[in-house]
Amino acid sequence: MALRKPPLSLQARVFVALLGVLAVLVTAPWPRLQLILHVLTVVALAPDPRNYLTTGLLASASGWALEGSLKLYPRLGGSPWAALTLALIAAFLAEHWPPDSRFRWMIRQLGLALGLFLLTEGMVFLAAGSLPSARPWLWVVLGWPLWAYLTWRDQPARS
């Protein structure tokens, strides 16, 4: 199974993912929008099967941006660790099982977003012992069709 080259070069993908990290920082006053942009960056923009190091750095940066900007959130590294883990899983999936249809891509993105939620909640619980409210994650699921649809075009697919 050969990967076709995605429409964006590696440098362009890194630039777009860095814009996602910056958007996470800028949208700190609106935590629901911030969380949607964080999930979009971690599971759709940062994962690149061509460069796992860049994937990890961008996902961790997004996790630290989210964790550092929330006022009542413990800053002990639970979010960056969860983001790093899920982004590397997403890159591995893109390399070994590239999506071959928009429907499968959207289902994969929903699964990765829910996995990021569970892993983040678990890591924050291990780091701090108390869980923040999970209500903003509902907005991630409600916005999932839009951001999964918009990111489909840039993903590696079977040739």
| The residue type at 129 | G
* Average pLDDT, 10 consecutive residues per value, the chain (159 residues): 60 86 89 88 87 91 86 76 94 86 88 91 79 73 85 63
Q: pLDDT (tens digit, 9 = 90+) per residue, 54-70?
A: 999 999 999 888 888 87
Q: Give SS3 for 3.
A: strand
pLDDT score for 85? 95
With a CB cutoff of 8 Å and minimum separation 6, the contacts of 37 are 20, 23, 24, 27
Rounded to whole angstroms, how far apart are CA atoms 10 and 23? 20
pTM: 0.84
